[in-house]
């Protein structure tokens, strides 16, 4: 009997990385397809009936779970909440779950409800699992630390998705990174010896993306695309020829280490191949912080000059930044802001340091007794640390909020965009192609952003961008659309912060009132306090219901904890009124 496999990709929460608020401008459902599951699907036996549901682009019908023999789920740690809901649905329906990917790989010892784990790279473990599953003796964990030859990895099955739902496509050229940053789990999963696909193999995957009908941005998902420079240069020369032959259907962006700025030939090849953005892990302008994280590739460099060098080759720099290193002091927050603004890095992903499982940082903090239980750490939206920092935790979190409030205020954001446009060359090797989706984005941008709360900053930016270089106007619109998402997320965080502060304030007031009750309060006094407690719960729930969906993401755990503590207080008050043991009360 043919096996029916359902692959499910969990939903991402609304964070800086999701770019969810930018998607309506181009009529897309999600920023990226699930490349990992598409690749695993290509490794399954050809006689299997495989279906894929990406919950970021469509709704999961639980009937599909019931019809499947197996459900495959892959996730990153940021998708944990959605991952848990999928597993719970499979348990309820009775369909076995197979889990793999970064989150299950790093946390399989603590994840419950999953029947089988594929740990590490699927090329080394999936075949064994399939054999055991078909013979009825599948084990719970399949793990192998081997680093497979990815020249034998099949091309992802793009036939399982509707490419028109995505604003970008994904391809992979290499795995691994030669560096050894303390906080990074990539080297733990994929190793420090960079493994690459053949040039022909990679170009064939580009052919597949083109044949699927996609045109636009292609993200090369390598964690360090330039891990093997000589091989990359050979690939780029072939990509230039491919782009010229197909009249440049794609623009590319990828992740790379900042040492690429020292190789003029490499930068020129990247630009000519159609790369318009590099994501660089800058982390911090503080040399001591870089040393503490073993970020050797960033040390002893003028980071500002490095960014400018890349920009002058026609490529935007997106930057990763971290606060919370042991060496950070009170000046780090303003120093980060100053660097980001002067460097002209519009997309600056700033995060609190997180001790990811299976990293050298995690092991060090565990040895030092500094890990905190009950929190998986921050994902730029869940502002909770999973370790004890050297700086006071509340000061670190407030400093982080200060950074994002500053860099994603409309004035500062659009000023960075102008700094970037001024740094780009007058004549780029390639310019953003203007198609139907770009025209749609322009029209929606003019309507939505002109009449937004930051409309005056937006219009000034567009006018100034035209004065800088009219040929870069499509880039200006793209930056504006991305800015809408980043500004919206920041506004949601501010509203969430104000809501949580309100909860803490009224809860403290209620606790103080309870503490001030005499040992034998009169019934009238107790009833007044009871009504007050019920009133503040009602007010909090009403205000929560008025929050946007984006803001609720940040406060849902806090409102539950607030309600729990209020219920405990209500039980105590009612105990005083009744003279009996507390009863169970639900909000």
Asked if the structure places residue 423 within a domain, the reply is no
Q: How many C-beta atoms lie closer than 10 Å to residue 398's C-beta?
A: 13
Task: Identify which has the larger pLDDT, 349 or 528.
Answer: 349
Give me the pLDDT at residue 302, please.
97
Ranges 106-115, 383-392, 552-561: which has the least confidence: 552-561
Sorted by sequence, the CB contacts under 8 Å of residue 95 that are 6+ apart come out as 6, 65, 66, 68, 69, 70, 71
Asked if the structure places residue 37 within a domain, the reply is yes
Whether 287 and 354 share a structural domain: yes
pLDDT at 558 exceeding the cut of 90? no
Asked if the structure places residue 472 within a domain, the reply is no
Whichever domain contains 70, its CATH number is 3.40.50.280
Instruction: Say how many domains are in the chain.
Output: 3
pLDDT in tens, 486-535: 999 999 888 888 888 899 998 888 888 877 766 665 667 777 888 888 88
pLDDT in tens, 236-268: 999 999 999 999 999 999 999 999 999 999 999
Whether 136 and 179 share a structural domain: no
Give me the pLDDT at residue 585, please.
36
- Average pLDDT (47-73) is 97
> In the chain, helix, strand, coil percent, each to 5?
55, 15, 35
Strand partners, 70: 5
Task: Identify which has the larger pLDDT, 373 or 142.
Answer: 142
Whether 199 and 255 share a structural domain: yes
Whether 403 and 341 share a structural domain: yes
Whether 118 and 175 share a structural domain: no
- Rounded to the nearest integer, the mean pLDDT of the chain is 91
Domain boundary among 127, 143, 159: 143
Whether 137 and 173 share a structural domain: no
Whether 237 and 199 share a structural domain: yes
Give me the pLDDT at residue 272, please.
96
Asked if the structure places residue 587 within a domain, the reply is no
Whether 198 and 323 share a structural domain: yes
pLDDT at 582 exceeding the cut of 50? no
pLDDT at 584 exceeding the cut of 50? no
Domain boundary among 407, 436, 464: 407
Whichever domain contains 261, its CATH number is 3.20.20.70
pLDDT in tens, 303-334: 999 999 999 999 999 999 999 999 999 999 99
Whether 179 and 125 share a structural domain: no
Domain boundary among 390, 407, 424: 407
Residue among 256, 257, 251 at smallest CA distance from 272: 251
Ranges 42-51, 381-390, 417-426: which has the least confidence: 381-390
Give me the pLDDT at residue 581, please.
38
Give me the pLDDT at residue 376, please.
55
Asked if the structure places residue 154 within a domain, the reply is no
Distances (CA, A) of 249 to 62, 91, 274, 431: 38, 44, 9, 11
Asked if the structure places residue 487 within a domain, the reply is no
Tokens of 370: 């500094």
3-state class (DSSP) for residue 443: helix
Residue among 507, 530, 519 at smallest CA distance from 582: 530
Q: Are strands 195-196 and 174-175 parallel, antiparallel or unpaired?
A: antiparallel
Predicted confidence band of residue 583 (pLDDT cuts 50, 70, 90) = very low
pLDDT at 398 exceeding the cut of 50? yes
pLDDT at 354 exceeding the cut of 90? yes
Instruction: Write down the number of H helices and E strands in the chain.
Output: 21, 14
Give me the pLDDT at residue 493, please.
85
Tokens of 348: 């600056």
Sorted by sequence, the CB contacts under 8 Å of residue 387 that are 6+ apart come out as 353, 355, 365, 370, 371, 372, 377
Asked if the structure places residue 57 within a domain, the reply is yes
Asked if the structure places residue 444 within a domain, the reply is no
Whether 267 and 340 share a structural domain: yes
Ranges 201-215, 235-249, 414-428, 430-444: which has the least confidence: 430-444
Ranges 268-277, 328-337, 464-473, 502-511: which has the least confidence: 502-511
Whether 365 and 229 share a structural domain: yes
Predicted confidence band of residue 439 (pLDDT cuts 50, 70, 90) = confident
User: Which structural domain range is residue 530 located in?
Assistant: 499-578
pLDDT at 442 exceeding the cut of 60? yes
- Average pLDDT (328-353) is 97
pLDDT at 378 exceeding the cut of 70? no
Assessment of whether the complete model's pTM goes beyond 0.85: yes
Whether 175 and 261 share a structural domain: yes
């Amino acid at each position: 009997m043919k096996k029916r496999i359902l692959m499910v990709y969990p939903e991402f929460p609304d964070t800086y990385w999701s770019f969810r608020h930018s998607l309506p401008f181009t009529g897309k459902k999600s920023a990226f397809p699930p490349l990992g599951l598409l690749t695993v699907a290509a490794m399954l036996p050809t006689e299997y009936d495989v279906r894929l549901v990406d919950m970021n682009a469509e709704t999961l019908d639980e009937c599909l779970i019931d019809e499947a023999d197996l459900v495959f789920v892959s996730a990153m740690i940021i998708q944990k909440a959605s991952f848990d809901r999928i597993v719970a649905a499979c348990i309820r329906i009775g369909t076995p779950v197979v889990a793999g990917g970064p989150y299950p790989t790093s946390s399989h010892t603590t994840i419950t409800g999953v029947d089988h784990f594929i740990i590490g790279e699927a090329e080394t473990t999936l075949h064994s699992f399939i054999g055991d599953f078909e013979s009825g003796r599948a084990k719970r964990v399949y793990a192998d630390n081997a680093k497979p030859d990815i020249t034998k990895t099949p091309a992802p099955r793009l036939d399982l998705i509707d490419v028109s739902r995505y604003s970008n496509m994904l391809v992979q050229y290499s795995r691994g990174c030669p560096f050894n940053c303390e906080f990074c789990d990539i080297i733990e999963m994929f190793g420090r010896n960079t493994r690459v696909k053949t040039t022909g193999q990679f170009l064939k995957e580009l052919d597949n993306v083109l044949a699927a009908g996609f045109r636009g941005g292609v993200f090369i998902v390598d964690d360090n695309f330039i891990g093997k420079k000589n091989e990359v240069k050979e690939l780029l020369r072939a990509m230039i020829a491919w782009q010229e032959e197909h009249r440049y259907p794609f623009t590319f962006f990828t992740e790379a280490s900042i040492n690429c700025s020292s190789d003029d030939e490499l930068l020129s090849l990247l630009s000519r191949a159609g790369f318009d953005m590099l994501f660089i892990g800058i982390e911090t302008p503080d040399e001591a912080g870089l040393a503490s994280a073993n970020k050797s590739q960033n040390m002893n460099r003028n980071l500002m000059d490095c960014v400018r060098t890349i920009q002058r080759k026609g490529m935007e720099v997106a930057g990763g930044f971290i606060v919370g290193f042991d060496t950070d002091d009170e000046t780090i927050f303003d120093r980060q802001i100053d660097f980001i603004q002067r460097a002209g890095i519009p997309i600056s992903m700033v995060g609190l340091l997180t001790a990811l499982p299976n990293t050298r940082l995690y092991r060090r903090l565990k040895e030092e007794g500094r890990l905190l239980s009950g929190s998986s750490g921050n994902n730029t939206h869940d502002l909770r640390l999973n370790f004890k920092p050297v700086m006071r935790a509340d000061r670190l979190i407030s400093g982080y909020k200060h950074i994002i409030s500053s860099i994603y205020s409309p004035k500062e954001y659009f000023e960075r965009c102008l700094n970037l446009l001024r740094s780009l060359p007058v004549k780029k090797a390639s310019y953003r192609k203007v198609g139907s989706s770009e025209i749609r984005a322009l029209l929606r941008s003019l309507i939505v952003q002109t009449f937004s709360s930051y409309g005056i900053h937006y219009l000034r930016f567009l006018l100034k961008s035209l004065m800088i270089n009219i040929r870069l106007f499509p880039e200006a619109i793209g930056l504006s659309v991305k800015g809408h998402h980043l500004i919206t997320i920041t506004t949601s965080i501010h509203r969430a912060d104000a809501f949580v502060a309100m909860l803490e304030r009224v809860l403290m007031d209620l606790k103080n009132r309870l503490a001030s009750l005499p040992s034998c309060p009169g019934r009238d006094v107790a009833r007044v306090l009871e009504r007050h407690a019920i009133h503040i719960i009602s007010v909090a729930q009403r205000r929560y219901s008025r929050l946007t969906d984006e803001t609720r993401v940040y406060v849902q755990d806090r409102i539950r904890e607030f309600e729990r503590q209020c219920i405990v207080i209500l039980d105590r008050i009612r105990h005083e009124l009744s003279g009996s043991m507390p009863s169970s009360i639900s909000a």
